[in-house]
Amino acid sequence: MKKYLLIIFISLLIGFLLSNFLLKQYDDYKGITVYKEGTSLYFIEYGVFNDYKEMEDNTINLENYIYEINHNKYHVYIGITKNKEVLDKINNYFKNLGYNTNIKEFNITNDKFINAIENNDTVLLQTNDNVVIGEVVSEGLTSYEEVVINESKN
């Protein structure tokens, strides 16, 4: 019996020492990040269309928009924000223009774009002027095209 206890004790000790050694190897590891937690942003969706022509026909009156193709459908977005108070303001702005909208939440990891949206949100929190709201929202969409879409192509 003592023989087995000694073997078990030695096995546990060796296992502990080996695992401790292996774990210390990763303390200073500077590997490739395979997942980066993003920031939740709210995208104001104008509509979903079956094809490009239908999308073009239905977005003629929009000054600026972005779209993505998902499951062979064209999803059109007309505003982006990080702040819920600003979300309500932008959503009301578009409702007053007669647009029905939906809200989609996406995780974005591009820090440059997130900073741009945070700056836009700061401006939008301080204004109720519809002209300013429209310009700042349009600027956010342009920033998304330049920073997120174009950088992902390169």
CATH number at residue 85: 3.30.70.1070
Helix pair 84-96, 111-125: axis angle to 10 deg: 70
Band the pLDDT of 51: cuts 50, 70, 90: very high
| 133 in Cβ contact with 90 (< 8 Å) | yes
pLDDT at 34: 63
In a domain? residue 1: no
pTM comes to 0.72
The DSSP-derived string for 112-127 is: HHHHHHHHHHHHHHT-
User: Pick from 24, 23, 15, 139: which is nearest to 79 by CA?
Assistant: 139
In a domain? residue 83: yes
Mean pLDDT of the chain: 86
Domain carrying residue 89: 39-153
How many distinct structural domains can be found in the chain?
1
In a domain? residue 27: no
- Burial class (CB within 10 angstroms; exposed 0-12, middle 13-18, buried 19+) of 71: exposed
Res 31 pLDDT > 70 = no
In a domain? residue 64: yes
Based on its alpha-carbon atoms, the radius of gyration of the chain, rounded to whole angstroms, reads: 26
Res 54 pLDDT > 90 = yes
Band the pLDDT of 88: cuts 50, 70, 90: very high
Res 36 pLDDT > 80 = no
In a domain? residue 33: no
In a domain? residue 18: no
| Long-range contact set of residues 95-102: C-beta below 8 Å, sequence gap at least 24 | 96/130, 99/46, 100/47, 101/44, 101/45, 101/46, 102/44, 102/45
